Structure 1
Amino acid sequence: MAFWKRKITIDDDAVTTAVHLTVRQSLIPNILVLNAHFQKTLNLSGSMSAGLSAAYFGAYFICPPTVSGFVLRRCGFRVTFMAGLAVLAVGCLLFWPSVLGRSFGGFCGSMFVVGAGLATLETAADPFLAICGPPRYSEIRLNLAQAVQGVGSFVAPLIGSRIFFASNLGTDEGLRNVQWVYLSTAAFVGLLIVLFFLAPMPEITDADMQFQEIEIGQQNSGPLRTQFNLFLAVWAQFCYVGAQVAVANYFIQFCVSSGTTEARGGVYALNRFIAGGLMTIPAVKPRYILALYLGMCFVFVVLAMNTRGPASIAMLILVLCFESACFPTIFTLGLRGLGRHTKIGGSLLVAAISGGMVFPPMAGAVMDECGAHMAMAVPMVGYILAWTYPLYVNGWNREVMDVHRETTYGLERLGDKDVQLDNRESTTATARSQPGGAELTKAADTPAEKQ
């Protein structure tokens, strides 16, 4: 009966032995291609499509710093994964009555619930990939994971458009297909919830992260209000994601020729693999990659504004290419040195994805008044504002960035054990099981942390 006694929550003061990774499922591309067919059938206007985008990104603004972040800190990664999947399944099911009634309001509500589920998933997934493993490889892990997601973004629209909707786009039959695919997605997500419950999954707590910072050689992380590196990373992420979504919207609108959007997705995924590979070279530090890639985004978006025809499209493809490593690298660098504040920091960085709700409407307003090429001035400003973060980490915060990059923590055998925390955890558990164990444990830990 041990199965029924499984404990799926975790005390954030406990020290665990989490050293492995899990894989996050990418469902966004499938949802986007289904939404495209829903919009086609209902003949939604551009402003109504913007409302759908606002509903989706609005969930990212609300959930991570509030409900999702609270669940993560209170219950741990496993429960947060399961909660996010449950909300996502509910959102998928809500599309059924929305499609039946052809209700735009219902569709926006469903999109918000889906966004809330995915935001909750990302609140757990991105920090988990960044911190679960040797600290020096955190940027590589998240870049490679995002690259796998990019492959999903490349493949899913092809499958959805050419298999599910090959000949019935914009018809009632196509609309019924959307209903059944959403129902199937909800069932698949339900299966994932069961798998997350059953699978052996390590947990990472605030105590783990604080202990790791001490072992790496950093001082106490201090109060949250003093984490300037985190706050600047959140600002950069907000501006970057807003610029990225604005460019993507422009690209989709103007690059309607056959095969163009597929090439965009393939290049985007490929360059994330390249960036992850470059970061394995000791001399190529993630802060260098971030400065270079964001700088190239600015250069090529300026060139796209000042060229026409195929040359302009080529410049935008290069912008998308260099965007590839920016999000995961900003995310992981923003978590450096946070210690016990890592989960809160991860929640704030995920909330910064809500920049996708702010920049595209501004670009659309400029496009209506001045044309599509001038609209690229909005993401151009976003890249400039985001570049303040690589400027900071390369100029004023190099020590914190490099000490995590150069540490061998998590790579070397410590004494006769592969994982030092195993001995620490067993000793702590034994002490706490005895009368007065909490006081003895605290007294035993204090001098060790000062050595």
Structure 2
Amino acid sequence: MESGERSRAIFIAATGSFVLASISAAGRVVSRFVVVKRHGWDDYTFILAWILAFGLTFAVNFGTYKGLGLHNDNILPAWTAPLLAAEYVAIVLFTPALVVTKISILLLYLDIAKHQTFFRIATYAILSVVVVGGVTISFLTAFHCSPVQAAYNADIKNFKCISIQKTLLASAPINIGTDLAMLVLPIPLLTTLSLPLLRKTILILSFISGVIFVAAVDVARIYYLQLATIGSNAPDRSRLSTSLDFPFNAGLALLWSAIEVDVAIFGASIPTLGPLLKRLIPMNGPEPQAGPNGSYSLGELSRRPSLTTDSGSKRPFVSISTSLPREQESQANAIEFSVTQSTETGTQKSWVCSNPRLGEPSSFFGFINMHPTKCVADMRGSESVKYCAIINTCMFLNGFTYTMLFSINGNIPIINNRTQAIGISSASYGGAGIFSPFLGYVILHRFGFKTTILTSLAICCAGTLMFWPSGALGSYPAFVISNVVVGISLTCLEIAADTFNALCGPPEYAEIRVLLGAGTEAIGGVLSMILAKYAISINADDTRSLISLQWAFFAIALFTVVLGLAFHYYPLPEATSQDLQRRQDLLWTDPSKKYLRKFPVIFAPLALATMSSFFAAGALTSLRSFIGSVLSSISTSSKTAPMVTISDFQLILTVIYSVGTFFFALLCFFIPPRYILLWAHACGIVFAVLITRVQFSSVRSVQVLTLVLSIFQGPIPNLNFAIAFRGLGQWTKLAGCILVGVTSLGASVWPWVMLAVANSHSARYAFYIVTALFGAGISLPIYLILERATHHRPPGWRAVVKLFQRL
């Protein structure tokens, strides 16, 4: 683009977007103050947002006349001071303008759902994040230089400035996260309205379209801001326009900042334009009636006296579009958006499970008929397969995200040695092992599987977005915190998914279902490693690869949002502790039997499985962490080259792990799981000893032995999980949380033991730890074989015979 063309383009685009936003803002003001004659704090904050948007647009346009969008060589010396001032004003006004607009939208949310407790609590939570984050970022941008005048006064020589580019990039998760939250929040409430599909769709789009546009523009703004950061290569303490070619590189970023605020104003206007459009384009139509599920149409709700006013309220109605009959126009030019008292108190809901909090309404969306669900322990046949397949999508996400984390942790620029690499992965596992059992049990016990999954997905979305400030600031502690948050969310997700798979179906096939879920998780890990290696191509010396990584995690965050919406509308079977207590006899272990005539036999396998999982997870993580060092030492001593590189070998290990998990699931049809578990531990001990003791003439032999070892090592924690579940009754959910949490703790602790032994001796010598871990974990299968009370389980091959007989 020739000199001056970018400046003109910025001026035209900024002015055009502000004009369109002003037209929509004028329409909202006329609709609320003239047509409806009802207004409140959301309208006042909206007007303030428009004033701030005007200041932002004026600053950007003024900057284009003083060199914004030009190369440094084309900027006259007399333009430097006003250009600095224009850039400073535009950057300082962006965050307050956007925050005030979001506050206006959230205040509208609060007004339209005065009787929805959960909705209001969620709205207040988002509002708190918006206000606190906005105030913090506003002060950081306004006072990023010391003295403050140095940001816009080129005559000041002794100054210190923090990087404004990094500050804005670090604030990206707050903007995107609140955008996604505001996008998702009204959808469940709007879909409960009993309206024709077309009208319901239009109503939903009127609320979420503006937020979608804002999020899309926010992505574009961040992209151009990253390009400006790469292009300027400015030191962290430099001024804006004194950075290398910053006016040219940052021109589009500032343009998109102005467009984002204008689009937010436009989106905040859309839901309130209905009365004005009705006045300009009168429409007649039949009034919707109450739906069969007890919910009411918007027009019906506007006439219900118990819901139209609050004591002391100055605005009983909310101005949104509707098609009420003409004679009601004087009473309600807008839609009263609330739900009936009967729906709020749950009188229209019916459940099958004994806990009413865990059920599902008979109808949620206008064209989706959702029948009451059964208890998860009663699922059989095709129902079991269907629900387990749905839950395994969470396992796929779990494997994909976890593997993505560990694929990049050793390659990001701030990781300088093995200690830091082990520290960041151990922080993820350790935080998950400590906090996830408590959080997971509270949610799973009180609210059920669906709420646990939705909460885990929400935390995962927040955690993946936290990688933006971590990457922008290049902070090791920030990466550690991000890993801990994501680890907690994914472990809670795994607790819910593994527990669901173990319970959903015939109990004699619990091991098979859990192993199939683990195999699906491993497939997600394989795809994640392929993406990290060949698509993202992480390079510690290339800033663009880190940016690609940030966008990969942004895609994961979006996927969690979509998956969360899908799970919200799909009915999952649930089970309370009372349901599981009544069905403890179905888990093929007699709970009345005592071990040593004192301890219930059902708790002995749980204790041994907890210990075995702690050791097995430590062996698996230690193998993945130190096998590269072992192969390097053997390759040097034998003077042979490996079959594949270390990174490719890690990918093959993940593939073999997935294959081994599915293979063990197949074996469980024909062989009792206790014998498979004994075989897996014995093979693990043998191959670990061979890797440690045998003097190999080629490193390729060690790679083959490691691949065989990974076949037997991977499925052990999942078999422990399924076996320990038998006969626990009301303790089933607690046991699931303990088993998964202890597994994460094992993966966190034992790599440090391996590192200490490797530093004092050698990496190969440290593999004695892996051998010892397998030896300690073999106590569970030995107990299961010797204790006859645990043998009450019909062979799985009978199901295969019955299937062929039916065919």
Cα 1:106–1:341 change in 2 (3 A) is same
**Offset of 1:30 from its aligned partner?**
4.2
Residue number in structure 2 paired with 1:103: 475
How far apart, CA to CA, are the structure 2 residues paired with 1:364 and 1:205?
43
Is the CA contact (8 Å cut-off) linking 2:669 and 2:797 kept in structure 1? Answer: no
Query: Is there any run of 5+ residues in structure 2 with no aligned partner, and where?
Result: 1-191, 193-292, 296-338, 359-372, 633-643, 803-807
Residue number in structure 2 paired with 1:390: 781
Cα 1:275–1:80 change in 2 (3 A) is same
Residue number in structure 2 paired with 1:426: none
Residue number in structure 2 paired with 1:241: 617
Greater radius of gyration (CA): 2
The one of 403, 417, 430 equivalent to 1:45 is 417
Residue number in structure 2 paired with 1:190: 561
**2:730 aligned with 1:340, yes or no?**
yes
Is the CA contact (8 Å cut-off) linking 1:337 and 1:400 kept in structure 2? Answer: no
**2:642 aligned with 1:271, yes or no?**
no
**2:507 aligned with 1:135, yes or no?**
yes
**2:747 aligned with 1:375, yes or no?**
no
How far apart, CA to CA, are the structure 1 residues paired with 2:473 and 2:440?
31
The amino acid across from 2:613 in the alignment is Q
The one of 449, 463, 480 equivalent to 1:77 is 449
Matches within 5 A, 1:13-412: 16-18=374-376, 19=379, 20=384, 21=388, 22-23=391-392, 24=394, 25-33=396-404, 36-37=407-408, 39-40=410-411, 41-165=413-537, 170-215=541-586, 219-220=590-591, 226=600, 227-255=603-631, 257-258=644-645, 259-281=648-670, 284-307=671-694, 308=696, 309-353=699-743, 354-396=745-787, 398-403=788-793
Is the CA contact (8 Å cut-off) linking 2:408 and 2:532 kept in structure 1? Answer: no
Give per-residue Cα distances to partners, 1:40-98, cap 9 Å, x unaligned.
32243211112112211112321233111111111101100111111111111111111
Give per-residue Cα distances to partners, 1:258-301, cap 9 Å, x unaligned.
332222222211121111111112xx101110000111011100
The amino acid across from 1:364 in the alignment is L
How far apart, CA to CA, are the structure 2 residues paired with 1:244 and 1:8?
46
Is the CA contact (8 Å cut-off) linking 1:33 and 1:161 kept in structure 2? Answer: no
Is the CA contact (8 Å cut-off) linking 1:136 and 1:404 kept in structure 2? Answer: yes
Is the CA contact (8 Å cut-off) linking 2:397 and 2:521 kept in structure 1? Answer: yes
Q: Number of paired residues?
A: 406
Residue number in structure 1 paired with 2:311: none
Is the CA contact (8 Å cut-off) linking 2:507 and 2:586 kept in structure 1? Answer: no
Identity %: 24
Q: Which has the higher helix share?
A: 1
Cα 1:199–1:260 change in 2 (3 A) is same
Worse-superposed segment, 56-65 or 247-256: 247-256
Is the CA contact (8 Å cut-off) linking 1:89 and 1:187 kept in structure 2? Answer: yes
How far apart, CA to CA, are the structure 2 residues paired with 1:236 and 1:207?
29
Give per-residue Cα distances to partners, 1:357-399, cap 9 Å, x unaligned.
1111111111111111111011111111111111111112x43
Is the CA contact (8 Å cut-off) linking 1:63 and 1:119 kept in structure 2? Answer: no
How far apart, CA to CA, are the structure 2 residues paired with 1:181 and 1:90?
14
Cα 1:216–1:393 change in 2 (3 A) is closer
The amino acid across from 2:472 in the alignment is L
Cα 1:401–1:103 change in 2 (3 A) is farther
Q: Secondary structure at the match of 1:380?
A: helix
How far apart, CA to CA, are the structure 1 residues paired with 2:608 and 2:563?
35
**Offset of 1:27 from its aligned partner?**
3.6
Query: Is there any run of 5+ residues in structure 1 with no aligned partner, and where?
Result: 413-451
How far apart, CA to CA, are the structure 2 residues paired with 1:143 and 1:386?
19
How far apart, CA to CA, are the structure 2 residues paired with 1:102 and 1:222?
57
**Offset of 1:214 from its aligned partner?**
3.1
The amino acid across from 2:611 in the alignment is W
Is the CA contact (8 Å cut-off) linking 2:629 and 2:763 kept in structure 1? Answer: no
* Aligned alpha-carbon RMSD (Å): 2.9
The amino acid across from 1:366 in the alignment is V
What is the TM-score when the length of structure 1 is the normalising length?
Answer: 0.83
What is the TM-score when the length of structure 2 is the normalising length?
Answer: 0.47
**Offset of 1:8 from its aligned partner?**
12
Is the CA contact (8 Å cut-off) linking 2:589 and 2:726 kept in structure 1? Answer: no
**Offset of 1:120 from its aligned partner?**
0.8
The amino acid across from 1:298 in the alignment is I
How far apart, CA to CA, are the structure 1 residues paired with 2:524 and 2:592?
37
The amino acid across from 1:114 in the alignment is V
Is the CA contact (8 Å cut-off) linking 2:624 and 2:650 kept in structure 1? Answer: no
Cα 1:125–1:99 change in 2 (3 A) is same
